[in-house]
Chains A and B, each alone.
Chain A
Amino acid sequence: MSYYFVAIGGSGAKVLESLTHLSAAGAFPDEEKLYVMNIDPDVGNGNLARSTKSLECYEVFQNATIGYASPLFRTKVVLARPFTWNPTEHNKCLDDVMSYQAYKEEPVGHLYRALYTKKERTTLLNEGFRGHPSIGSAVMAKKIDLGNGDYTVDGETWSWLKNRVNEDVKTGSVARIFLTGSIFGGTGAAGLPTVAKVLRRTFDSFCESKKVVIGAGMVLPYFSFSAPAKNEVKGQVYAEAENFLTNTKAALRYYSGAIKEERLFDSMYFTGDSSLDQINKFSVGSSSQENDAHVVDFYVALAAIDFYQTPVDKLKNCSYISHNKPDAFEWGDFPELADMTTQSSPNLKTRMGQYIRFVFSYLLLVKPVLKELSAGNIPAYKYPWFADYLEKVNADSPEVQRFEQYVEDFVRWLAQMTNNTSRRQMSIINHDIIRGINPSVLDGNIMDRLIIGGDEGNISLHEVWIRLCEEQKAADTTRDAQGFGKFLRLLYDSCEAR
């Protein structure tokens, strides 16, 4: 079995960020690889840049030799090369993509002019479809050649996906492909059904025999923003929050029909929020489109894991989930995990709790001093774990550097996700530990109260330190661990709730 994840548009990229952290934390059901690709015309999108950064860091340090039988870094990610498929080309507008000049005087040209305003036709698509699914669906249909019924699409990213899935199926595996995007914006709304059709057509016989199953995480509206000042967006096409619900309604009607008529997806997960978070920063796209992580992204990433862990014959057409208290999110509101390696159902609190402690312990105990220790500027006797495991590790190695970048990104993500839900409390972690997004102002005194509702599992920083310094038994599982990986494994094990 292999897992495939296709992120579509900015919302897809945000879900991908949550999924990266979940895979590093060992929330996936087994040790199979996760193949990831991305679809976005706005290649400079801030959300994409952020999730790509975490993913690329993970891609490097996931190879640290941590030994066996640990959920930590268990799911290895493999990124498509090139990672992002851009359905438009640089500096092209809708007119260019649709070859409007060639059909200008023909009836189809007249129809085209009636369907799209001049602004929609002539706006450059470098920053995506700007919340207009009508533009996105036209571009996607053109690029994917839906009109001829070929459903073919060129590009190395697609060839990569196709080859991987074919290889999997040949070896008798089931390829589980999960697509994610918003259905109220531009790229996701246009891309989800189109990409699903391409995949269905490409792997037609495999889909019939359930060798390839396709799932989708549909992101429904969960945020809103005020209309920008007229002079700010003069002459531009941009996303308008007031259209989100109308777009969503139309999309849901479409998917309702699609379930009956063409069975695009083996399983669909719809996730949104009845209370819309207000975003103060308006952006038409590109690097300035960088929205904070949100619990909705996290839910969709968990939906992907649910899709990967559910037996094929038990996949549901549509799934829904809710949270118990109207004014709070708690650990019990998230779905359970299935660990196929141990045939157990670890709860998310246990697995994420240990991982969160592991990251915070690294940030509080190791990161501030590692460089200085390696340079010999601080005496090693003060840090027994350094003398025992890290003295010979190069602190400037890509593995260490990328892990250090990653842990900071993880804390920023966690801080945003647990802080940014309007009118509801995120009762998951004690937010007081993060006195700023900058990890250098973390409060180590909060460690023993870090995981909310985890009284039996919370561990003080002092306890983590002791466990890390105590003699470790030469267990079989860590025998082959070495270097930085061995240290990370021991730190992770030291953060276990016992």
Chain B
Amino acid sequence: MNRSVKTAIQIGGIIGVIFVCAAIMYFGLADSLGKTYITGTKTKIIDWTSHYKNMLIIVMLISMFTSLLWYVLSRFVFKITSCFGVGKRAIWLVICVVNVIGVLLATALCSNDTTLKVGFSLYIIHVILFSVVGYYLTSVLFTPAAYKYTPVGANLIKLKK
């Protein structure tokens, strides 16, 4: 497969996986979670869902940005001119931390709105969907060949030749 086509597929894959995570969250979980969080308040579920949608878009964009940042760095920016200084796991980890903090911060800041009352479980679900799946899994699956084993555990998950 042509490398440009492969790049397009990988970028599409990253965006697609995160978008699917957001869709699962919005269409599958948001309604039931919202009902739990608004129990005992005057907020209607339709209002909660409407506000949550904005939060979800922000969290999704943070996840996409960090995942694509790693992809772009490893595909286009890091150049190998010797056998030293390769791997770049520290950078991958820093972006991972940025992703988790970003997802948590966005969840916390957006829930300051009185209409959008959230529980601890939403933080956990966001981290699972947008950090573990959105960043970690997409980097395991779509990191370019030169750094394919940089994501922790990728060498265990990916089939070796």
Establish whether residues B79 and A387, one from each chain, have CB atoms under 8 Å apart when the complex forms. Answer: no
Shortest CB-to-CB span from B147 to chain A, Å, is: 8
B80 to chain A: which residues have CB within 8 Å?
A: 365, 461-462, 465
The number of chain B residues touching the other chain, given as a range, is 20 to 34
A466 to chain B: which residues have CB within 8 Å?
A: 144-146
Give the nearest-CB partner of A388 in chain B.
Answer: B161
Give the nearest-CB partner of B148 in chain A.
Answer: A384
Establish whether residues B81 and A381, one from each chain, have CB atoms under 8 Å apart when the complex forms. Answer: no
| CB proximity to A under 8 Å, residues B64-85 | 79-84
B150 to chain A: which residues have CB within 8 Å?
A: 381-382
Complex CA–CA separation, A460 to B146 (angstroms): 14
Residue of A380, A384, A461 near B82 (CB, 8 A) is: A461
Establish whether residues A381 and B149, one from each chain, have CB atoms under 8 Å apart when the complex forms. Answer: yes
Answer yes or no: B87 CB below 8 A from chain A CBs.
yes
Looking at chain A's contact residues, is the secondary structure mostly helix, strand, loop, or mixed? helix
Establish whether residues B148 and A469, one from each chain, have CB atoms under 8 Å apart when the complex forms. Answer: yes
Answer yes or no: A383 CB below 8 A from chain B CBs.
yes
Establish whether residues A364 and B83, one from each chain, have CB atoms under 8 Å apart when the complex forms. Answer: yes
Answer yes or no: B154 CB below 8 A from chain A CBs.
yes
A387 to chain B: which residues have CB within 8 Å?
A: 149, 155, 160
B144 to chain A: which residues have CB within 8 Å?
A: 466
Complex CA–CA separation, A389 to B160 (angstroms): 9
CB-defined A-B contacts under 8 Å, sample of 22 = A364-B82, A364-B83, A380-B149, A381-B155, A382-B86, A382-B87, A382-B150, A383-B86, A383-B87, A384-B146, A384-B149, A391-B160, A460-B81, A461-B80, A461-B81, A461-B82, A465-B146, A466-B144, A469-B145, A470-B145, A471-B145, A471-B161
**Residue positions of B touching A, CB distance < 8 A:** 79-84, 86-87, 89, 144-150, 154-155, 160-161
**Residue positions of A touching B, CB distance < 8 A:** 364-366, 368-369, 379-384, 387-389, 391, 444-445, 447, 460-462, 465-466, 469-472
New A-B contacts (15) at CB < 8 Å, excluding given A365-B82, A384-B145, A472-B161: A364-B82, A379-B87, A381-B150, A382-B86, A382-B87, A384-B149, A387-B155, A387-B160, A388-B160, A388-B161, A391-B160, A444-B82, A447-B81, A460-B79, A461-B81
The 7 closest A-B pairs by CB, nearest first: A382-B87, A469-B145, A381-B149, A470-B145, A444-B81, A462-B80, A388-B161
